[in-house]
Amino acid sequence: MTLIDLIATTPRPAQHTDLPVAILGAGPIGLAAAAELLERGIDFVVLEHGDEPASSVRTWGHVRLFSGWDELVAPAARRLLDSQGWTMPDAATAPLASELVEHYLAPLATVEAIAARIRTSATVLAVTRQGMDRTRSAGRDSRPFAIRLRHDGETSEVLARAVIDATGTFTNPNSLGSNGLDALGFDEIASLVSHALPDVTGTERALFEGRHTAVVGAGHSAANTLLALAELGESTTITWVLRTASAARITASSDDELPGRASLGARVNAMVAAGRIAVVDSFEIIRLEANAARVDLIGLRDGAVKRITADRVVNATGFRPDLAMLREIRLELDEVVEATKRLAPLIDPNVHSCGTVEPHGFAELRHPEYGFFIAGMKSYGRAPTFLLATGYEQVRSIAAWLDNDLASALTVQLHLPATGVCSTESACCS
């Protein structure tokens, strides 16, 4: 860090210390931020869109994570839980997402000092400065943040001394269209499109069993869904639609330090080789059309128009950040992946895998809006290389900065498992 950067990032005299730090989102990163701030004696409020903490994780609870427990529990959260008599499950075991919630996130969210500060069913509509839109500069940093939200049917505002946006990206999927927009005709067939990671063998089985499903996407979310569909038996037809020439990240590399991730690639490859999964690559989706009770995916492949007809489509094309609620905040984002500007070169999926991301903290996550940070999956924008351990170190550094502990904030350490090259259509790597 240069001297100029050091001066720019040095905490200024604390203002509005009577106000809490606002944490947006009560998922793994938001709750980790809460534990960090609690440990440092900094007041906070957690605003969660769902009816209960970790609402997004709960929706894909049937999916097994790649990482073991020792990489899924935030250090500050573990210290807090240990003080309550908590016992961590077997460190090397990779849990289901539902087990992550049951055995870690739910207990953390019910710790009294955190539970008292969580507001559920609180949808954040916008973040701004009190009395200032983004164009006003004079005295800007001295104004508290105003978070407008809808809670219990009413719209109100919460004031905060700082904001940590940990809302993630799972509820904001990329489009099926190859040009980044919803494919033409999407509105007419939207009911036949499933979000990434549907519960194929469980609660949503009836939508897929004995039918033809087209899974669109080139990452681990697609791979999980493909394997789940294959479990439904030979009466279920599967087409894997790749908008790129190959699924670069779904590999069975022996160099992958997360065996579960390599195993996923090996099993998908075997299903493809056996003819159980049909692959259509380099398919540029331009239009979706209703075909009786089915859907046609119409696109270009090798310069010719091709049509794929399926009963259902799974959109596993990855995720993007919801930036609409931040229009009045001064952001500095990368023009390609929409990650924080200083972070983007460190996580470029064309260069970096999940395991080659350099350590980074508040200095890389800061924006021109003093005291505002995006952390967790959302900080990566459209890049798919996020690991929970990365987010835990992000919020540890941010909390240290908020506590005027610059030495700790700048001492960022991160040890991630290596893997292969990441593509831009994948889900997170945890």
Domain spans, the chain: 3-171+319-410, 186-315
pLDDT at residue number 122: 97
DSSP state of 142: G
Q: Is 140 exposed, middle or buried (0-12, 13-18, 19+ CB in 10 A)?
A: middle
pLDDT at residue number 415: 65
Backbone phi, psi, residue 373, to 5°:
-135, 145
pLDDT at residue number 258: 52
pLDDT at residue number 245: 84
pLDDT at residue number 261: 61
pLDDT at residue number 424: 30
pLDDT at residue number 421: 33
Q: Give the residue among 315, 284, 311 at the shortest CA–CA distance from 221.
A: 315
Q: Going by CATH, does the domain composed of 3-171+319-410 fall within 3.30.110.30?
A: no
pLDDT at residue number 1: 58
CA–chain centroid gap for 255, Å, is 25
Over its C-alpha atoms, the chain yields an Rg (Å, rounded) of 22
pLDDT at residue number 404: 93
Quick count: other Cβ atoms within 10 Å of Cβ 185? 18
Q: What is the pLDDT tens value at each position of the chain, 430 positions in all? A: 565 566 566 776 667 889 999 999 999 999 999 999 999 999 999 999 999 999 999 999 999 998 889 999 999 999 999 999 999 999 889 999 999 999 999 999 999 999 999 999 999 999 999 999 999 999 999 999 999 999 988 999 999 999 999 999 999 999 999 999 999 999 999 999 999 999 999 999 999 999 999 999 988 889 999 999 999 999 999 999 999 887 655 554 444 445 556 678 788 989 999 999 999 999 999 999 999 999 999 999 999 999 999 999 999 999 999 999 999 999 999 999 999 999 998 887 655 444 556 778 999 999 999 999 999 999 999 988 788 999 999 999 999 999 999 999 999 887 665 543 333 333 344 4
Amino acid at 153: G
pLDDT at residue number 290: 96
Do the beta carbons of residue 357 and residue 388 sit within 8 Å?
no
How far apart (Å, rounded) are the C-alpha atoms in residues 35 and 194? Answer: 34
Q: Going by CATH, does the domain composed of 186-315 fall within 1.10.10.60?
A: no
Q: Does 186-315 match 3-171+319-410 at the fold level? A: yes
Question: In residues, how long is the chain?
Answer: 430
Contacts of 129 (CB under 8 A, 6+ apart): 136, 140, 143, 144, 145, 146, 328, 369
Terminal-to-terminal C-alpha distance of the chain: 29
